[in-house]
């Protein structure tokens, strides 16, 4: 136990000597450490505030980008609708031009066909008349028909 007491006294002396001679250095060290920690806390708080400001700024930018995107999309939709309307209008005009041209061509074709039919009818009438005349006509009958036709023509000419 004697060693125990001696060891206890030695420890007390060492702590007393360290406290007496090193207390200022220890206090300075602890104060410096406390100041560094306080400074680090302030810097962390400042960075946190800057981060919150940056986050708010980025959120505002994202919101602005979203609004701008919506405006651009709406503008593109309007331009697309306008272009579609213009294309439809142009297509309608083209369809009207095609329809008018087809109607003109149909009328011309109908007139041409009517003329062809008339020519064919006249040709057929002449052929039938000629055939009839060949069957029924002899020289006396032809002379009678010519005379009657001339009389009718002269009466019709003088009456008009």
Domain segments of the chain as ranges:
2-159
**Cβ 137 vs Cβ 149: under 8 Å:** no
For residues 65-75, give the mean pLDDT.
94
Q: What six digits make up the tokens of 61?
A: 């930018």
**Other beta carbons within 10 Å of 145:** 13
CA angle 95, 101, 106 (to 5 degrees): 125
The band of 135, judged by pLDDT with boundaries at 50, 70 and 90, is: confident
d(CA 61, CA 40): 31
Higher pLDDT, 126 or 109: 109
| Entry pTM | 0.41
137: exposed, middle or buried (Cβ count in 10 Å: 0-12, 13-18, 19+): middle
For 137: left if phi > 0, alpha if psi spans -120 to 50, otherwise beta; the answer is beta
The band of 157, judged by pLDDT with boundaries at 50, 70 and 90, is: low
């Amino acid at each position: 136990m004697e060693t125990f007491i001696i060891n206890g006294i030695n420890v007390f002396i060492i702590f007393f000597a360290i406290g007496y001679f090193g207390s200022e250095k220890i206090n300075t060290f602890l104060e410096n450490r406390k100041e560094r920690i306080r400074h680090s806390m302030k810097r962390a708080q400042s960075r946190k505030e800057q981060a919150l400001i940056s986050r708010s700024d980025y959120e505002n930018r994202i919101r602005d980008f979203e609004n701008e995107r919506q405006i651009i999309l709406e503008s593109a939709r309007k331009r697309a609708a306008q272009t579609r309307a213009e294309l439809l209008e142009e297509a309608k005009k083209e369809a009207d031009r095609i329809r008018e041209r087809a109607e003109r061509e149909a009328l011309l074709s109908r007139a041409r066909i009517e003329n062809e039919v008339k020519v064919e009818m006249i040709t057929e009438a002449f052929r039938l008349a000629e055939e009839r005349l060949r069957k029924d006509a002899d020289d006396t009958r032809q002379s009678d028909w010519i005379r009657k036709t001339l009389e009718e023509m002269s009466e019709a000419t003088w009456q008009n």
